[in-house]
Amino acid sequence: MTGLKGALIGCGFFAINQMHGWNDVEGAEIVAICDRDPERLKLVGDQFGIERRYSNAEAMFADGGFDFVDIATTVQSHRALVEMAARNKVPAICQKPFAKTLSDAKAMVEACRAAGVALMVHENFRWQTPIQAVRKALDAGAIGTPFWGRFSFRSGYDVFSGQPYLAEGERFIIEDLGIHTLDIARYILGDVSSLTARTKRVNPRIKGEDVATILLDHENGATSVVDVSYATKLSKEPFPETLIELDGSEGTIRLTQGYGLEITNGKGTTVMDVSPKLLSWASRPWHNIQESVFAIEQHWVEQLKRGAEHSTSGADNLKTFALVEAAYDSAARGQTIDVRALL
Ligand code: NAD
Ligand code: 89V
């Protein structure tokens, strides 16, 4: 395979994982980086040995010399940068949350479609080893047809020290973390027709909600609950594990804390360890997320080379993003929201 050349915009907290991931990916390398903060640009450029450094994304696109762009900035700049990539006919990866609003997200998908360039959202949680293991068990028919699910992320971990902006937004847990959990629910049980949500803010030092409980009606008739919290203090901190319960016509699946996968069906019960790998550059407890960064980047390269759609393409992610908007709307109005009407 001829190697693809990439450029990364946004050299902040999470970009370090993305740069490590690119070092491990086969068939691609990062040749240019951009950040408007000179300190971050220098830190990442020096750490990863990248000579081409820009403080302005327009200038980087004007110089060109790369086959794709990886946008790792926070949400405020996503629409402008994705549209810049489309104007320059450069395929783009965009971090989650994809956009500030669903209408921005739709415009970004349309810009890339019209320009004929691929667009993938860096929605990496479905690429975690334990989530892939659940999907594999379902696909193998281990529990027949699933009719109920629970996708749960409850933690007391201090995410604010690494990502201070998470304490400052009007919206917090659904937009930042629940977006991943909702995407996992879609990935496992399929698209959603309607949704009902309730939210709370428990931590008085942050602005947005840190607890959400969301009831999903899936198009195939299954029902699920997505429950997320950063206000849950447990004896053994589960961050950043998503726990899953699935009931099916022929059995049950439980993804338990500590990365255990328990499957019960007519043959009895099997228990497997589905722990993520601890990559050479990774550190606990983030290694689960870090491995999924590498996995989604490898997927990007493979699909781009084949000219095939990505699992979390911009178009696919509109259906996850609509769940985020619907959840905030439902919580504000105390009503069930018709998700299909938003798309
Ligand atoms: P951060 O604030 O640490 O880093 C963002 C960087 O982008 C900063 O260095 C900033 O100077 C730069 N930047 C912003 N706008 C720019 C522009 N227009 N041009 C050039 N540089 C610009 O943020 P972070 O914590 O690294 O988060 C970045 C994104 O990653 C967010 O959208 C966040 O939600 C997401 N994230 C994803 C995961 C995941 O697992 N997928 C985990 C953490 C964060
Ligand atoms: O994955 C994320 O988007 C992170 C975190 C796990 C802290 O919520 O922001």
Q: Which ligand is nearest to the CA of 78?
A: 1
Q: Give the CA distances from residue 122 to residues 93, 160, 271, 327, in Å, rounded to whole numbers and listed in that order.
A: 6, 21, 31, 21
Q: Which atom of ligand 2 lies nearest, measured to the CA of 166?
A: 9
Fold observed for domain 4-117: Rossmann fold (3.40.50)
Q: 213: closest CA among 231, 229, 232? A: 229
Q: Any idea what the Cα angle at residue 146 is, between residues 240 and 212, rounded to 5°? A: 40
**C-alpha 173 to ligand 1 mean position (Å):** 16
Q: Which ligand is nearest to the CA of 162?
A: 1
Q: Which atom of ligand 2 lies nearest, measured to the CA of 157?
A: 7
User: In the prediction, which pLDDT does 106 show?
Assistant: 98
Between strands 68-71 and 4-9, the pairing is parallel
Q: 297: closest CA among 173, 121, 90? A: 121
Q: 309: closest CA among 219, 133, 317? A: 317
pLDDT digit of tens for each residue in the chain (343 aa)?
A: 469 999 999 999 999 999 999 999 999 999 999 999 999 999 999 999 999 999 999 999 999 999 999 999 999 999 999 999 999 999 999 999 999 999 999 999 999 999 999 999 999 999 999 999 999 999 999 999 999 999 999 999 999 999 999 999 999 999 999 999 999 999 999 999 999 999 999 999 999 999 999 999 999 999 999 999 999 999 999 999 999 999 999 999 999 999 999 999 999 999 999 999 999 999 999 999 999 999 999 999 999 999 999 999 999 999 999 999 999 999 999 999 999 999 9
Q: Write the residue with the smallest CA distance to atom 33 of ligand 1.
A: 74
- Are the beta carbons of 21 and 294 closer than 8 angstroms? yes
- Are the beta carbons of 243 and 232 closer than 8 angstroms? no
**C-alpha 249 to ligand 1 mean position (Å):** 43
From 75, 95, 159, mutation site for ligand 2 pocket: most ligand atoms within 8 A of C-beta:
159
From 8, 11, 13, mutation site for ligand 1 pocket: most ligand atoms within 8 A of C-beta:
13
Q: Which atom of ligand 1 lies nearest, measured to the CA of 12?
A: 4
**C-alpha 76 to ligand 1 mean position (Å):** 10
Same fold for the pair 4-117 and 126-288+320-342: no
Q: Which atom of ligand 2 lies nearest, measured to the CA of 177?
A: 8
Q: Residues near ligand 2 with C-beta < 6 Å?
A: 159, 163, 176-177, 180, 240, 289
Q: Burial level of 38, CB count in 10 A (0-12/13-18/19+)?
A: exposed
Q: 286: closest CA among 299, 276, 295? A: 276
From 37, 42, 74, mutation site for ligand 1 pocket: most ligand atoms within 8 A of C-beta:
74
**C-alpha 226 to ligand 1 mean position (Å):** 25
Region 126-288+320-342: CATH code:
3.30.360.10
In the chain, domain spans: 4-117, 126-288+320-342
From 121, 160, 176, mutation site for ligand 2 pocket: most ligand atoms within 8 A of C-beta:
176
